[in-house]
Amino acid sequence: MGRRNAALEALVSPVGGEPPQPNCRSCGHAGLRLVLDLGRVPLANALLTAEQLHEPEDRFPLEFYFCPQCALVQIGETVPPQRLFRDYAYASSFSDTMVAHARALVERLIGDRGLGPDSLVIEAASNDGYLLQFYRARGVPVLGIEPAANIAELARAKGIATLVEFFDEELAGRLAAEGRFADVIHAHNVFAHVPDPNRFVRGIKQVLKAGGVAVVEAPYVRDLIAKLEFDTIYHEHFSYYSASAVEALCRRHGLRICDVELLPIHGGSLRLFIAHADRPASVRVTDLLTQEKSGSLLGFDYYRDFGDRVGHLKKQLMALLWRLKDAGHRIAAYGASAKGSTLMNVLGIDGRLIEFVVDRSDLKQGRFTPGNHLPILAPSALADHRPDYVLLLSWNFAAEILAQQDDFRQRGGKFIVPVPEVKVV
């Protein structure tokens, strides 16, 4: 048991003994408070080829901070976005949940906002066109902006005009100079990926029509903390938002949140409707801002015991995995996801416990996970190799994956769901 306990001791650094703090990404405040130190880990989506397995692998600090000035939660390290996103292995279309989610939103916005052939919809980080394809099918002009050239090509193959660029104020200025103003700007699961949110929001301000709306979806930091979603912390996620932090950011640049919805997707997300500052805020916005203030989300005490709670969950999960392994059970994992990379590298889960990882994305199959170098196979490997247990790393798509793997479960296979609590299903 010594090998296991020694690894667990160093997993979570408690608050205190803090390293030098960076300045806040949003307001510039110099007094950030350390919430959690997850150590040095590899980049979560830096999947390896067989030829790269013997090459040195970079690791970076992963420290989680709270800003007492504007309430933005953020990591301290800034890995250059060009390194993180120029060659990307995630395509949203591989998730049925994400595609259905996008279709429903597009149909709603077309109806609510009367969008048609004279409109323009722009999406920042448009990925493989999983969302814009539904506008295009209804005759609404679209423009995708996607920094990963390999993923942009997938969108172009669907007939979606796509710029291989990062969305920021510079690009928005060029679009505005060309007279390309948006009725709707989508930014889904990209706001957290922006190292300088001020440049991003200034870009929205420049290219959004007077009556337009930006629809932003991002993981909700309140759910992250409440549900122990520590594996959502990785280097691509620079910031972790509350509505209050976004409102302060928007106000700084002549925008405001005019409406908000709470979504269950990705373990709990905010859907924010952002407009120019002359647009009134809905009752839902004022109610949520009040809830965040009264619920202490804007103070450090809300985050103070997060590290201890995560440490307890980690010990539970590792004890279960070792107990199953020691009993002779074979264990695989599902989902070569970024959150899976954080979970495995922080806990020290490697080939001693897990034989392989499966994933639906053929962009990932045949490669190896960062840090622990597990082979990534197609989901059919579960039927071929018949492990007894599967650690569900992509727990945010649990319902979809469990339904897809009903045959595996009918044959006696079990899934281990690690977050928000360790359970076997």
Average the pLDDT over 354-371 and give the result. Answer: 96
Q: Does position 20 have pLDDT exceeding 80, yes or no?
A: no
Average the pLDDT over 395-404 and give the result. Answer: 92
Write out the H or E segment, with its range, that includes residue 402: helix 398-404
Report the topology of domain 307-424.
Rossmann fold (3.40.50)
Burial class (CB in 10 A: 0-12, 13-18, 19+), 96: middle
pLDDT confidence bin for 4, thresholds 50/70/90: very low
Share of the chain above pLDDT 90, in %: 88
Q: What is the DSSP letter of 241?
A: B
Instruction: Classify domain 92-295 by CATH number.
Output: 3.40.50.150
Q: Write down the pLDDT at residue 16.
A: 41
Q: Does position 276 have pLDDT exceeding 80, yes or no?
A: yes
Q: How far is CA 38 from the centre of its chain?
A: 17
Q: Does position 23 have pLDDT exceeding 90, yes or no?
A: yes
pLDDT in tens, 161-179: 999 999 999 999 999 999 9
Q: Write down the pLDDT at residue 1.
A: 39
**CA separation, residue 35 to residues 61, 63, 311, 315, 343 (Å):** 14, 8, 13, 19, 17
Q: Write down the pLDDT at residue 88.
A: 61
* Domain coordinates in residue numbering, the chain: 92-295, 307-424
Torsion of CA 415, 416, 418, 420, to 10 degrees: 70
Q: Write down the pLDDT at residue 82.
A: 81
Q: Does position 224 have pLDDT exceeding 50, yes or no?
A: yes
pLDDT in tens, 116-136: 999 999 999 999 999 999 999
- Establish whether domains 92-295 and 307-424 are of one fold: yes
Q: Write down the pLDDT at residue 390.
A: 98
Q: Is the pTM of this model over 0.75?
A: yes
Q: Write down the pLDDT at residue 95.
A: 82
Determine which of 2-6, 70-74, 86-90 has the lowest per-residue pLDDT on average: 2-6
pLDDT confidence bin for 300, thresholds 50/70/90: very high
pLDDT confidence bin for 87, thresholds 50/70/90: low
CA distance 31 to 16: 14
